[in-house]
Structure 1
Amino acid sequence: MSKLMVNYTKSILERVSFDPVLFCKELEKALKTLLPYELEELVDWFFNFTKEKPELRKCAVYLNL
């Protein structure tokens, strides 16, 4: 079940990536609902996904790294 939730979260984030504000909002929601080991996967995905999207990189502040 948890793998499905992480994949669902990624798909939502990909769909809203056209709007940095909405992307940050959805990322915040995901961080509140996912389990710690799921967050690790999401953080890895986030940095991979935003490699070429500097406007979305500013959302990294929500990751508390």
Structure 2
Amino acid sequence: MARAMFEYTKTVLKKVSFNSDLFCKELNKALKMLLPYEVDELLIWLENYTENKPELIGCLSTIK
């Protein structure tokens, strides 16, 4: 079940990536909900996903 939450989180983040405020809000919710090792995986995924989306990179600076 936990893996399902990780995949769901990625789906939600992809869907709200058009708006950086929503993206940051959903990212913060996900960080509270996911397990520590899933957060580490999510950070790796986020670095790759936001590579060509400079408007979303600001959200990453708040979690590192």
Q: Shared topology, TM-score over 0.5?
A: yes
Counterparts of 1:1-65 in structure 2 under 5 Å?
1-64=1-64
TM (norm. structure 2) is 0.95
How many residues align structurally?
Answer: 64
C-alpha distance in 1 between matches for 2:40 and 2:32? 13
Determine if contact 1:20/1:55 at 8 Å carries over to the other structure. Answer: yes
5+ long unaligned stretches in structure 1: none
CA RMSD of aligned residues (A): 0.7
C-alpha distance in 1 between matches for 2:32 and 2:58? 18
User: How many angstroms does 1:3 deviate by?
Assistant: 1.1
Which letter does structure 2 place at the counterpart of 1:17?
S
TM (norm. structure 1) is 0.93
Determine if contact 1:28/1:62 at 8 Å carries over to the other structure. Answer: no
Structure 2 counterpart SS, 1:63: coil
C-alpha distance in 1 between matches for 2:28 and 2:61? 10
